[in-house]
Structure 1
Amino acid sequence: MKSWNVDDVMTKAVVSVDRAATYRSVVDLLIENRFSAVPVVDAFRRVTGVVSETDLLRKVEYAGDAEPRLFEGWRRRGERGKARARTAGDLMTAPAVVVLAGTSIAAAARRMDSEGVKRLPVVDDLGRLAGIVSRGDLLKVHLRTDDEIHADIETGILLPHLAESITSVAVTVAEGVVTFTGRVDRSSDAELVFGLTRQVAGVVDVKGSLSCEFEATDPLHPAAL
Structure 2
Amino acid sequence: MEHRTIGELMTRKVVSVQLDTPFKDIARILTDHAVSAVPVLDGLGRPAGIVSEADLLRKAADQSDLSGRTPLPHLEAWERARSEGRTAGELMSAPAVCAHPQWTVVEAARLMEVQNVKRLPVVDETERLLGIVSRSDLLRVFLRRDKAIQEEISREILGRTTRLGAAGVTADVVRGQVALHGSVEEPLLVPVLVRMCAGVDGVVSVSEDLKPAVAARSAEGRGVPA
Residue equivalent to 1:43 = 43
1:164 Cα shift? 4.9
| Cα distance in 2, alignment partners of residues 164 and 132 from structure 1 | 40
| Cα distance in 2, alignment partners of residues 86 and 49 from structure 1 | 15
Residue equivalent to 1:140 = 140
- Greater shift, 168-177 or 93-102, is seen at 93-102
Calculate the aligned-residue CA RMSD, in Å. Answer: 2.0
- Greater shift, 99-108 or 7-16, is seen at 99-108
Query: Do the aligned residues in 1 keep the contact of 2:154 with 2:170 (CA within 8 Å)?
Result: no
Structure 1 runs of 4+ with >6 Å offset: none
| Cα distance change of structure 1 residues 164 and 53 upon mapping to structure 2, 3 Å threshold | closer
Query: Which letter does structure 2 place at the counterpart of 1:111?
Result: L
Query: Do the aligned residues in 1 keep the contact of 2:154 with 2:165 (CA within 8 Å)?
Result: no
Q: Which residues of 2 match residues 1-225 of structure 1 at below 5 A?
A: 1-63=1-63, 76-213=76-213
Query: Secondary structure of 1:56's partner?
Result: helix
For normalisation by structure 2, the TM-score amounts to 0.83
Query: Secondary structure of 1:55's partner?
Result: helix
- Greater shift, 132-141 or 116-125, is seen at 116-125
| Cα distance in 2, alignment partners of residues 134 and 208 from structure 1 | 33
Deviations 1:140-170 (A, max 9, x none): 0110000110111112111112335532322
Query: Which letter does structure 2 place at the counterpart of 1:99?
Result: A
1:6 Cα shift? 2.1
Identical pairs, percent: 39
Query: Which letter does structure 1 place at the counterpart of 2:115?
Result: E
Query: Which letter does structure 2 place at the counterpart of 1:32?
Result: D
| Cα distance in 1, alignment partners of residues 123 and 212 from structure 2 | 46
1:12 Cα shift? 1.5
- Greater shift, 205-214 or 22-31, is seen at 205-214
Query: Do the aligned residues in 2 keep the contact of 1:12 with 1:132 (CA within 8 Å)?
Result: yes
For normalisation by structure 1, the TM-score amounts to 0.83
Residue equivalent to 1:69 = none
Query: Do the aligned residues in 1 keep the contact of 2:159 with 2:165 (CA within 8 Å)?
Result: no
Query: Which letter does structure 2 place at the counterpart of 1:6?
Result: I
| Cα distance change of structure 1 residues 90 and 212 upon mapping to structure 2, 3 Å threshold | same
Query: Secondary structure of 1:210's partner?
Result: strand
| Cα distance in 1, alignment partners of residues 77 and 164 from structure 2 | 67
